[in-house]
């Protein structure tokens, strides 16, 4: 239902707000008003991103679409697929945009994210994190009952046996990939013999069907300098390729060899047998990623554009050399490098305090902020920032075109 007729503004216009003080130049739409304006499927009024109540999370549609198109084109040129990681955006609308551009499925980090994506029409889902507790294993198998395209990762024989028992109890044959550690010892089974033996066990267990392996090299993604990144990635992934070949030689069904990410998307096709990349951050980019440098631009990773920003308002301008804004750690996280102020120079931004951001002026700042002014910052690290917001404003030429729900926000279980 479109509640536009009962918004605060219309209520005031109708003369019902005699007791409410409102300044003549008042602008700003709250998150719930914006959600209502969009509830009939399209924005019922024109709103500029500069009118949003802050802090507000925005995605620039031109930049987002260009990022999605570039990834799709690169994958098709390189002869591999994308299976983008929805842990980055947690937003079914963006997952559908990825699927519409030819992705073979999406990845999720959590079974709860997978449930949300499935409820919102995504039916090819690879859960890249193992589920080890009975609660989560049951949840994964319940999802598998409904979603034929659900694939679960496992990294130990004990876990594989538990998955199989649960699958039998739920009356399903669960598709499983073996998670292989690229050498960073975070998750996954060691490559070589342990990975092969786990794959063979999965293949034999009554409730499971072996689908292949995943090997995500988290340590490679932010290596600074394209050539160093490429050398390290290709060297480290040799063992993964050999493991995949051993699985194949053992007669196993090796349909999937998934890995890679935004930092290595244009390197991953050189990893022999890799079938798809689990790219996540490329949709939004962030201050962390632009610092790593790219193939054609050593200083800035400009292959993809920073589409995700936070709108914030200046709260205090009384102290020399600085101003205070309303987007601190709870709106931006404390990840570093700190957020970057979009379109301005000669000043820095820090989001270290819970509720407050600090703008510090340098030698010749491009502007000086006054209380009530708004500014826009590029996020430090997109994934955890998205998880702080219920909705993201999809903006084109500064105008809000849509309000997208971040439906898997907070789905950390």
Comparing CB distances to ligand PLP, the nearer of 6 and 218 is 218
Comparing CB distances to ligand PLP, the nearer of 12 and 234 is 234
Q: Is the dihedral of CA 5, 9, 12, 17 positive or negative?
A: positive
**How far is it, in rounded angstroms, from Cα 297 to Cα 303?**
9
To ligand PLP, the closest distance from the beta carbon of 385 in angstroms equals: 13
Comparing CB distances to ligand PLP, the nearer of 9 and 101 is 101
To ligand PLP, the closest distance from the beta carbon of 301 in angstroms equals: 11
Comparing CB distances to ligand PLP, the nearer of 12 and 219 is 219
To ligand PLP, the closest distance from the beta carbon of 128 in angstroms equals: 4
To ligand PLP, the closest distance from the beta carbon of 412 in angstroms equals: 13
Comparing CB distances to ligand PLP, the nearer of 183 and 261 is 261
Non-local (6+) Cβ contacts of 356 within 8 A are 315, 324, 325, 326, 328
Extract the tokens encoding 71: 């990834």
Non-local (6+) Cβ contacts of 30 within 8 A are 53
To ligand PLP, the closest distance from the beta carbon of 153 in angstroms equals: 9
Integer angstrom CA distances of residue 311 from 31, 106, 319:
13, 29, 22
Beta-strand (E) ranges in 182-246?
189-190, 208-215
- Is residue 183 within 8 Å of residue 236, measured between CB atoms? yes
**How far is it, in rounded angstroms, from Cα 409 to Cα 413?**
11
**How far is it, in rounded angstroms, from Cα 377 to Cα 375?**
7
- Is residue 173 within 8 Å of residue 131, measured between CB atoms? no
Comparing CB distances to ligand PLP, the nearer of 203 and 303 is 303
**How far is it, in rounded angstroms, from Cα 134 to Cα 114?**
17
To ligand PLP, the closest distance from the beta carbon of 88 in angstroms equals: 6
- Is residue 68 within 8 Å of residue 50, measured between CB atoms? no
The secondary structure of residue 234, as a DSSP letter, is: H
The count of residues in the chain is 413
To ligand PLP, the closest distance from the beta carbon of 281 in angstroms equals: 3
Comparing CB distances to ligand PLP, the nearer of 107 and 237 is 107
Instruction: Name the helix (H) or strand (E) containing 60.
Output: strand 56-60
To ligand PLP, the closest distance from the beta carbon of 68 in angstroms equals: 13
Q: How many CA atoms lie within 13 A of 325 on its CB side?
A: 32
- Is residue 75 within 8 Å of residue 260, measured between CB atoms? no
Residues that bind ligand PLP in the complex, under the rule CB under 6 A: 85, 88, 107, 128, 216, 218, 221, 261-263, 278-281
**How far is it, in rounded angstroms, from Cα 267 to Cα 412?**
30
Comparing CB distances to ligand PLP, the nearer of 254 and 278 is 278
To ligand PLP, the closest distance from the beta carbon of 262 in angstroms equals: 3
Comparing CB distances to ligand PLP, the nearer of 188 and 194 is 188
């Amino acid at each position: 239902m479109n509640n536009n007729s009962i918004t605060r503004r219309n209520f005031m216009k109708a003369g019902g707000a005699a007791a409410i003080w409102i300044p003549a130049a008042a602008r700003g739409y709250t998150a719930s008003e914006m959600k209502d304006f969009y509830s009939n499927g399209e924005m019922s009024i024109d709103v500029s991103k500069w009118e949003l109540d802050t802090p507000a999370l925005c995605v620039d549609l031109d930049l987002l679409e260009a990022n999605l198109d570039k990834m799709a084109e690169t994958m098709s040129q390189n002869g591999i697929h994308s299976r983008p990681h929805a842990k980055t955006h947690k937003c079914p609308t963006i997952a559908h945009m990825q699927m519409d551009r030819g992705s073979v499925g999406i990845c999720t980090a959590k079974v709860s994210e997978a449930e949300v994506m499935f409820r919102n029409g995504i039916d090819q889902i690879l859960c890249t994190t193992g589920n080890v507790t009975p609660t989560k294993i049951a949840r994964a198998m319940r999802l598998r009952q409904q979603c034929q395209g659900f694939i679960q990762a496992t990294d130990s024989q004990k876990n594989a046996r538990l998955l199989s028992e649960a699958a039998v109890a739920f009356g399903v044959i669960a598709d499983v990939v073996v998670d292989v550690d690229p050498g960073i010892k975070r998750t996954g089974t060691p490559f070589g013999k342990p990975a092969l033996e786990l794959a063979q066990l999965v293949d034999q267990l009554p409730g499971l069907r072996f689908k292949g392996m995943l090997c995500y090299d988290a340590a490679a993604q932010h290596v600074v300098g394209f050539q160093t990144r490429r050398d390290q990635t290709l060297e480290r992934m040799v063992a993964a390729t050999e493991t995949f070949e051993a699985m194949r030689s053992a007669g196993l069904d090796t349909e999937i060899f998934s890995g890679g990410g935004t930092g290595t998307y244009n390197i991953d096709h050189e990893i022999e047998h890799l079938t798809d990349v689990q790219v996540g951050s490329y949709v939004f980019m962030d201050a962390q990623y632009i610092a790593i440098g790219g193939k054609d631009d050593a200083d800035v990773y400009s292959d993809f554009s920073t589409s995700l920003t936070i709108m914030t308002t200046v709260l205090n301008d009384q102290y020399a050399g600085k101003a205070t804004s309303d987007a601190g750690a709870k709106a931006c996280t404390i990840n570093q490098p700190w957020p970057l102020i979009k379109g301005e120079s000669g000043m820095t931004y820090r989001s270290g305090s819970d509720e407050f951001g600090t703008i510090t002026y340098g030698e010749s700042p491009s502007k000086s902020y006054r209380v009530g002014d708004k500014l826009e910052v590029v996020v430090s690290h997109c994934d955890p920032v998205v998880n702080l917001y219920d909705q993201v404003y999809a903006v084109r030429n500064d105008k809000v075109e849509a309000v997208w729900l971040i439906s898997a926000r907070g789905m950390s279980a």
